[in-house]
Structure 1
Amino acid sequence: MKEQGEITQLLIKANNGDLCAYNKIFPVIYTELRHIAHRIRFQFFGIETLNTTAIVHEAYLKIINSETDWTSRAHFYGVAGKAMRQILLNAARRKKTIKRGKEAEHICFDEWEEKINLSDECSEQLIQLNDILLALERKDMRQVKIVECRFFANMSIEETAAVLDISTATVKRGWQVTKSWIYTQMQQNKSA
């Protein structure tokens, strides 16, 4: 893998329209997104049918088509975490819609989206997690960013700290508190 400084420079150059830099960075980005997507497959029960390639392609398209100016490798992968969250949530919602017999209303503009297949239980858990994260966004957006980096982009404590420009101690503390809070919320929703 290329050095982090080199990746940052290539992202900035590609962002500024340098086709040569884009051609050099594409395989690095694709490989890293594939690695993240592969790890995500095994974080949920019942995703043995989840297609890593479908997640990668969907995430890549979402990231590249965004209007974001990449300032660093860390920034890029922070956005990747949010993209992974949105992709999995969309797949979960689609599964819920199909389960309720509304498959005919679903129009898919991207063939890759159709290849993301979640179990019923996983779909429900992802939708519930998103609802909890939306509630958390109203209280503390930084905690949501930590979840996106750590859970959806599978970043280390150090990478998360770099993306959010906070200390590793703050990330560790925030991650522990947020995980506990999310768990409590999910348990309360189960018993309700």
Structure 2
Amino acid sequence: MDSETFEENLGAITQMLNGDSGGKGAIDQVFPLVYQELKAIAHRLLARGGSSTVTPTVLVHELYSKLNASEQLSVEGKRHFFSLCARVMKQIIVDYVRQKAADKRSSPGVRVELGDVDAMELGAPENVLAIEVALKVLESRDQRLAQIIEYRVFGGLELEQIAELYGVTLRQIQREWVRARIWLTDSLV
């Protein structure tokens, strides 16, 4: 999906999420509009991890299933929706790599580095688990930086898309992303 179509869909998404149906009913209306974008995000995210038994389609369908299964789903606009999607995708991936790590009996405590594409290596479960633990600590200190990392690393969103979701300039998100990367890199050393 090109960025112009994505921008148009964001307006429609906000209207649907804030409309009369809200919550779970809105998910059914919104999901077809964002399906291709979520699938592209999942594809970019999973492509960084090398071989994987989780496909982008499976990840997006699992995301939909989890959102639909939630009893108390309350979505408050596009930013909250994408934040929710990023968190659920992250949890799906974390659950997957925990299972993979348990199967391989991996040992934690390995140095994790973010690559040039600002993403973790899904082929190494300890990386994902270490980032998950670091995010929990960061979230208690600076929730916005933690969300930016979730959007970028687990949600696969570009900085331009994150800026749009927050309603701020690209430059501001770029500065916050630098701070987030520094904090995350320092915490993972």
Output the CA distance in 2 between the equivalents of 1:89 and 1:139: 21
Aligned to 1:173: 175
Question: 2:62 — aligned with what?
Answer: 58
Q: SS at the partner of 1:68?
A: coil
Alignment of 1:21-170 (within 5 A): 24-44=29-49, 46-66=50-70, 67-100=72-105, 119=123, 122-164=124-166, 166-170=168-172
User: What's the CA shift for 1:128?
Assistant: 1.0
Q: Which runs of 5+ in 1 are unaligned?
A: 102-117
Q: Secondary structure at the match of 1:37?
A: helix
Contact 2:89–2:154 (CA<8 Å) still a contact in 1? yes
Kindly state the Cα deviation for residue 63 of structure 1 after the two structures are TM-superposed: 2.4
How far is the alpha carbon of 1:27 from its aligned partner?
Answer: 1.8
Partner of 2:118: none
SS at match of 2:73: coil
1:8 equivalent in alignment to 2:10: no
Amino acid at match of 1:51: T
Letter in 1 for 2:17: L
Moved more, 27-36 or 65-74: 65-74
Distance 2:28 2:151 in 1: 26
What secondary structure does 1:10 align onto? helix
Residue ranges of structure 2 left out of the alignment (5+ in a row): 107-121
Cα deviation, residue 56, structure 1: 0.7
RMSD of equivalent CA atoms: 2.8
TM-score scaled by length of structure 2? 0.73
1:129/1:80 CA distance change after superposition, 3 Å = same
Retained in 2: the 8 A contact 1:74–1:159?
no
What is aligned with 1:183?
185
Q: CA deviation at 1:166?
A: 5.0
Q: Percent identity?
A: 31
**Match in the other structure for 1:114:** none
SS in 2 for 1:50: coil
Larger radius of gyration: 1
Count of paired positions: 167
Matched with 1:112 is none
The 2-side partners of 1:172 and 1:181 are apart by 14
Are the aligned partners of 1:8 and 1:72 in contact in 2 as well (CA < 8 Å)? yes
Give the C-alpha shift of residue 164 in structure 1: 4.0
Cα pair distance change 1:14/1:60, threshold 3 Å: farther
Tell me the distance in 2 between the aligned counterparts of 1:94 and 1:74: 30
After superposition, the Cα gap between the structure-2 partners of 1:47 and 1:14, relative to the gap in structure 1 and judged at 3 Å, is farther
Paired residue type of 2:178: Q
